[in-house]
Structure formats: structure tokens, C-alpha cells
Amino acid sequence: MTATISETLLDWYDRNARSLPWRVPPKEPRPNDPAYPYRVWLSEVMLQQTTVAAVKPYFAKFTEIWPTVFDLAKAPEDDVMAAWAGLGYYSRARNLVKCARVVAQLGGFPETEAELLKLPGLGAYTAAAIVSIAFGQRAVVVDANVERVVSRLFNIEQPLPAARKTIREKADAITPDARAGDFAQSMMDLGSQVCTSKAPRCLLCPLSDLCEGRAAGEPERLPVKPPKKAKPERKGRAFWIERERPEGRCVWLVKRLGTGMLGGMRSLPDDGWSAREDGSGKAPVEGETADLGAVRHTFTHAHLTLEVIAIDGAEMPQGMGEWWPIETVEEAGLPTLFAKAARLALN
């Protein structure tokens, strides 16, 4: 059965592989180019908890500005964070810079899982993906798509996260020695295009006759997941502080602390809200205020309602920051939450 699964799936992949800017088409030789592992790594980091459609323009921008890992290693962190703005999960961007600098010192990406795992921000999935796709070595690659395919293929009833050990063992059992990178990508494509979380397209699946979950009659309920916890509701305030400056009309922007939510990003000053508690409401400067409305944003651990308050006054705002020309505020690299707040203020 093992050979049948891998051979069947690779045959399907040869005919149905998605065309992606970071991917080498099936059966084509891997490029003998040091930039190729970089592109694989960059795409995998960007794709974590993010859709392919959202990643494509960011991948194009990054590879145009920084075509190699050595170029990225030289980049100021602020520039990378600004280019990443809107993609979310900003710790990935900070680790991206750290990892690029280590790889540059090494002279290139390591070619084993064990060495890749020593790099900043690389977990088991990313290391396995790089070593199989970029270097053609056998590795067991398990992301959310693969997790779903394997759970259904072998009708794994054990709930997550306890089921992950079994899922990995089963994935290992069906991973071939040859074309392991193509096999990993075929599993990802199958999970994202056919064996979807809702309404799986079983009639189009090349493994439907071998699928124990389908034979049991309820593939959609697999993998079994624990009930979702309700996200807490948080409230905070952001402050829009405009001034006329020699360079024109400007808004006061601050840089957030390097750790914590949206760490290291430029933003509007706020009242210290977090996923754990509401903000204090305290403004960074005194003056006449006007309520501009509120924006809503959902993070991994909380929902946030952020009031946007304009402050008019002559005093210098407290804390470190910079005056940014309002006409180019879209180039400041504000994360999505504060980009929403800025659009609200400007409208």
C-alpha cells in the first residue's frame, strides 16, 4: 500500500502541481543555484499561517529587493519589518533577519535537518521542507495540510494534538526515498486543493480508493480537533497626533518594543493594550481630543477594538518617535491594525 500511495500521488502531482513562484515544476531538476534554498526557506517562512494568495506579492517584493540570503543579511531590520508589514505574525520577520545573518556567516544554508534546526526561527516542519525540497533529501514534512490528509487517509480517530505522533509515523511510512520534495509538495497541494478542511472533493482525489476515512463515511470530521476556546475581547486607544513641520504635515509614529505583539514595528502611539489586558486610556501628550471612531482587529489570542483619538496640542509627545509625512504614511510599514487606524484618521 505504501508504494501505491506515493506512486499514485506523485503521478497526480506531475499532472496537477500548482504553479508557484518559489517552486520548481515536477520532474525538472533542482537548480544548482545558491539562491534556490533561500527562495524555498523564504516561501516556507512566509506561508506559515498565511495563504498562498497573500504571500505571492510579498515573496515577489522580497526577492526583488533582496535576491539572495546575503542581501537580506545586510538589510536593516527596520527595512525588513516595513516590507513585511501586513503579512502578520511579525516575530517571523524578526527571525528572518536573524536567520539570514547566521546563514550568511555560514556561507549558505546547511544541508541537513539537524543543522537547519539550529538556525533562528526554524522548526521541524521548515527544516524538513528545506532539506527535502531544496536539497532533495528524504525528510518527513508535516504541515496542517499534510496532517489533514494523513488523518483521513488512515482514519486516525485520536484527537489533536495527541494524534500528531501517530500522524508523523504514518507520514514517515508513506514518504518515498526518491522525490521526497515533490512528494511533500504533492501532499500540500492535495490538502489545499482537494482534501480541504470543509467539503473535501473526494471524487477528485487520487487516493480516494485507499482512504480509510472516506470508507468510514465521515472524512470531513478528521482530524479531530479540541473545541476552540473563545477569544477574549480587548479594548485600547491609538492616538493620531498631527503637526505642521518644515517638511509638511506630519503624524507622530513610534517604534514598538522588540518583543510582544507587533514587536519592532512602527505604529501610532497607544495606551498599552495587550492580548492579556485592556489599555490604560492614557495619552502620550495633553491637548484637545476628538474621537475619530474605532477599528476592529483579530489576533491569534484576542479580539481588539481600538479607538482612534486625534489630539491637538503644541506639546511634544512623550517617548521616542518620529514625525512622518502624512502624504507618505502608507510607506511607513505600519502593521495592518495601525494601517486601519491611519486610514480611519485620514478619512
Q: How far is CA 223 from CA 198, 218, 235, in A?
A: 11, 11, 34
Catalytic one of 7, 44, 218, 242 = 44
CA distance 264 to 344: 23
Q: Which three cell numbers stand for residue 102?
A: 547566521
Catalytic residue status for 244: no
Report how far residue 290's alpha carbon sits from residue 266's, in angstroms, rounded to the nearest whole number.
23
CB of 183 closer than 8 Å to CB of 12: no
- Largest Cα separation within the chain, whole Å, is 75
> Which of 254, 260, 258, 259 lies closest to 241 in space, CA to CA?
254
Burial of residue 49 (number of CB atoms within 10 Å: 0-12, 13-18, 19+): exposed
3-state helix, strand, coil split of the chain in percent (to 5) is: 45, 15, 40
Helix (H, G, I), strand (E, B) or coil at 250: strand
| Strand-strand pairing, 233-245 and 303-312 | parallel
Cell numbers given for 131: 532539506
Q: Output the CA torsion 13→19→23→29 (10° steps).
A: 60
Q: Say if residues 151 and 207 touch (Cβ distance below 8 Å).
A: no
Sign of the four-CA dihedral 40, 45, 46, 49:
positive
Cα 222 from Cα 248, distance rounded (Å): 58
Residues assigned a catalytic role? 44
